[in-house]
Amino acid sequence: MKVVNQLSAGGIVYKKKRKSSPENEKLWLICQHSQHKGWVFPKGLVGDHNLNEAVEQAALREVQEEGGVEAKIVHPQPIITNYQFKWKDQLIKKTVHYFLMEYISGDPKDHDWEMTDAKFVNEDQVRKTLSYESDREAFGKVLELKI
């Protein structure tokens, strides 16, 4: 079987509940994929639109497209995850770089067609709703980052 390596980038985006709220009162952006229906963080292929795209640029672009919001990267080191799946006669090995981001503006309702839903939820709901173990692990690691 042909093995294809893919690199994707995305954001684990938080929004403070209120301007004055304590650190632990954050809401997090999750999305439901329109094809496989899994609940995920927004992400997509690096270089999808522009071959020279940086990983950070791709992550911010995907958050805007799939999550409907503008955000900024608040920690320079991404959380790196891997998974693989079969597609036609290929084994796709995907690496995903997730950046911790803070929400700036916009409404998740403005997500594009790649997602059927996008919303901010609390930490417990993120853990309960995410569909994939690698995303739950990435979320755990993001919560440990010092920002």
Using rule CB under 6 A, residue 7 touches ligand ATP: no
Q: How far apart are CA 82 and CA 101, in angstroms?
A: 20
Cβ atoms 139, 127 nearer than 8 A: yes
- The stretch near ligand ATP (CB under 6 A) out of 21-29, 40-48, 50-58, 104-112 is 40-48
Cβ atoms 28, 101 nearer than 8 A: no
Q: What is the DSSP letter of 78?
A: P
Using rule CB under 6 A, residue 32 touches ligand ATP: no
Using rule CB under 6 A, residue 136 touches ligand ATP: no
Residue with smaller CB distance to ligand ATP, 59 or 135:
135
Binding-residue pattern over the window 88 to 127 for ligand ATP, x denoting contact by CB under 6 A: ------x---------------------------------
Query: Amino acid identity of 43?
Result: K
What tokens were used for 94?
A: 């995907």
Residue with smaller CB distance to ligand ATP, 10 or 119:
10
Give SS3 for 21: coil
